[in-house]
Amino acid sequence: MKKYCLLMLILGWCIHSPVVAAYECYQESPTAQSLGDKYRDIDKSLRVDKNEKQLQFLKKLKGKWSGTGEEIHCKGPERHPERLQKKMQVKAEVRESGNVLFRAQLEKKFPAEGVTRSDRLDLINIKNLYTLSMNGRHIEANQREHATNGPDAGVRYLEYMISIDAPTDDELHVEWSLFINSVYVFTQKLDLTRD
């Protein structure tokens, strides 16, 4: 009975966790739905001390990693969006950064396309956090910020739903989803082991 109750608690948490949820292309952000007009109020960010004891395990993740990943992109018209999923092999170097608690330089190889891409991942910027949940070596965060499209092109509002799980110093799982102007457009998942 205890195992059944524990399983139901875990399953319930997974179903309601905004990071683990599978979003539909162009779906409105759950945060935007719950906050309404207050969604873009950037004055309500959290004040987080990067030296907080519960965050220190992130510093132990510095170094070289490799593994697999997946990217999900939404494209096409709003009425008929297309969900593109791409598997990849990943090499990563996790580095320390000032205001960003998790920074990684990625080399992503997409075997189906025969393409390799470099990317820098900056997650959990302490100046743009709106929620931060820590449980052992698992972190979930909501990061929101404005980004310009260029001098005459306007501003986009970016929201990141972030999950970082490091069961050990040699195993790392990262998942983040991106909403632009409160609409879901992208997810990246990484499953890595230390080199």
In tens, the pLDDT along 87-109 reads: 999 999 999 888 999 999 999 99
Is it the case that residue 17 has pLDDT exceeding 60?
no
Query: In this structure, what token pair is assigned to residue 141?
Result: 């965060």
Is it the case that residue 20 has pLDDT exceeding 60?
no
Quick one: pLDDT at residue 155? 85
Query: In this structure, what token pair is assigned to residue 171?
Result: 């195993």
The model's confidence at residue 139, banded by pLDDT at 50, 70 and 90, is very high
Rounded to the nearest 5 degrees, what angle is found at the Cα of 61, between the Cα atoms of 92 and 15?
85
- CA-CA-CA-CA torsion sign (161, 112, 65, 138): positive
Query: In this structure, what token pair is assigned to residue 106?
Result: 């990625």
| Phi, psi angle pair for 120, to nearest 5° | -110, 130
Fold of 23-194: Lipocalin (2.40.128)
Closest C-alpha among 161, 127, 136 to residue 49: 127
Is it the case that residue 60 has pLDDT exceeding 50?
yes
The reported pTM is 0.86
Quick one: pLDDT at residue 93? 98
Give the whole-angstrom CA distance, residue 75 versus residue 172.
29
The answer for residues whose C-beta is within 8 angstroms of residue 4's C-beta and 6 or more apart is none
Q: Give the domain ranges of the chain.
A: 23-194
**Residue owning tokens 């230390």:** 194
Backbone φ/ψ region at 26: left (φ over 0), alpha (ψ -120 to 50), beta: left
Mean pLDDT of 59-78: 97
Model confidence pLDDT, tens digit, residues 34-51: 999 989 887 778 888 989
Is it the case that residue 12 has pLDDT exceeding 80?
no
Quick one: pLDDT at residue 57? 94
The model's confidence at residue 67, banded by pLDDT at 50, 70 and 90, is very high
